[in-house]
């Protein structure tokens, strides 16, 4: 046993040295990696559910399957990244936090790069996972529109009946509800979620948005969810049509969610947050200052 212990000790020290060498001390890089992993998990679960529904021709999933896939993906992605980066997993939300002063602007590039990297790699993963099925479904002809269109597996596209303004409004309102819901879930001064349930409730929130506001545009509600896979599909065989389709729709999932996130934050601040701060009142018999917080 002594000899066995002596053999283990150098190995243990070597593992410690390797761990120290691999440990990243830069908070920005750690946040980048956390956002990348969280986004990768979110997108793999979400895109794979879309791929199985489309390529399985309805036999291996329905529209609700996609909603559930993205809802579960959000929950697991938040669990993966939440303790390190806060798990924004959404460029619109990250930008909103910077504008509201909750996140330093210098951290914006790391968050966006992490999110875009995770999303792009997830699209590549699903392309590889369903490569044979894609070829079988399309006879090797990857199209954005038509009876065997498959680009919508990876990114969002508006329904044929939608106008550009109507599509923009849909994405705007859906993202208002997303960020407003997130703020409500995390509002500890009001009626915030129980400890440990934030990720699950956020996943349920995304599920609800998909079930109620997904028909018009596919509920992108997230530039980091939509643009990197679109770029991947342009490279992987679908071509520039991924940017032309839907009357050049591609910019809407970037701009509308960003404005919707800002609006959701402002609505919460104006209707709830600023009225629910600790208030200094002079009302006790000894003339001392009493700090009170509204519980309504």
Structure confidence at residue 278 (pLDDT): 67
Are 73 and 44 within 8 A, CB to CB? Answer: yes
pLDDT band at 9; cut points 50, 70, 90: low
Residue 221 pLDDT: 98
pLDDT over 60 at 4, yes or no? no
Distance of CA 84 to the CA centre of its chain: 15
Choose between 191 and 171: higher pLDDT.
171
State if pTM tops 0.75.
yes
DSSP 64-103: HHHHHHHHHHHHHHHHHHHHHH-----HHHHHHHHHTTSS
Per-residue pLDDT, averaged over 118-143, amounts to: 97
Domains along the sequence of the chain with CATH: 27-272 (1.20.1080.10)
The predicted structure's pLDDT at residue 279: 57
Each residue of 210-261: pLDDT tens digit?
999 999 999 999 999 999 999 999 999 999 999 999 999 999 999 999 999 9
294 has a pLDDT exceeding 50: no
């Amino acid at each position: 046993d002594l000899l066995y212990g002596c053999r283990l000790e150098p190995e243990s020290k070597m593992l410690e040295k390797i761990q120290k060498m691999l440990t990243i001390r830069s908070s920005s890089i750690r946040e980048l990696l956390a956002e990348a992993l969280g986004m990768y998990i979110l997108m793999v679960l979400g895109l794979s559910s879309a791929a199985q529904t489309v390529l399985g021709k309805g036999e291996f999933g329905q529209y609700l399957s996609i909603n559930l896939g993205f809802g579960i993906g959000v929950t697991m992605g938040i669990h993966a990244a939440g303790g390190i980066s806060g798990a924004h997993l959404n460029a619109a939300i990250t930008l909103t936090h910077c504008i509201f002063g909750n996140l330093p602007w210098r951290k914006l590039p790391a968050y966006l790069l992490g999110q875009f990297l995770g999303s792009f790699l997830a699209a590549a993963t699903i392309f590889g996972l369903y490569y044979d099925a894609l070829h079988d479904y399309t006879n090797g002809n990857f199209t954005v529109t038509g009876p065997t269109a498959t680009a919508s597996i990876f990114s969002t596209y508006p329904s044929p009946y939608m106008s550009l303004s109507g599509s923009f409004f849909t994405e705007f309102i859906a993202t208002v509800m997303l960020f407003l819901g997130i703020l409500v879930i995390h509002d500890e001064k009001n009626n915030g979620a129980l400890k440990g349930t934030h990720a699950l409730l956020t996943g349920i929130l995304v599920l609800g948005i998909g079930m109620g506001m997904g028909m018009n545009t596919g509920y992108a509600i997230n530039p980091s969810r939509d643009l990197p896979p679109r770029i991947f599909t342009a490279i992987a065989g679908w071509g520039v049509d991924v940017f032309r389709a839907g009357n050049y729709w591609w910019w809407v999932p970037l701009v509308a969610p960003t404005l919707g996130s800002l609006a959701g934050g402002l609505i919460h601040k104006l209707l709830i947050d600023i009225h629910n701060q600790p208030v200094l009142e002079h009302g006790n018999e000894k003339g001392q200052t009493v700090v009170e917080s509204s519980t309504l």
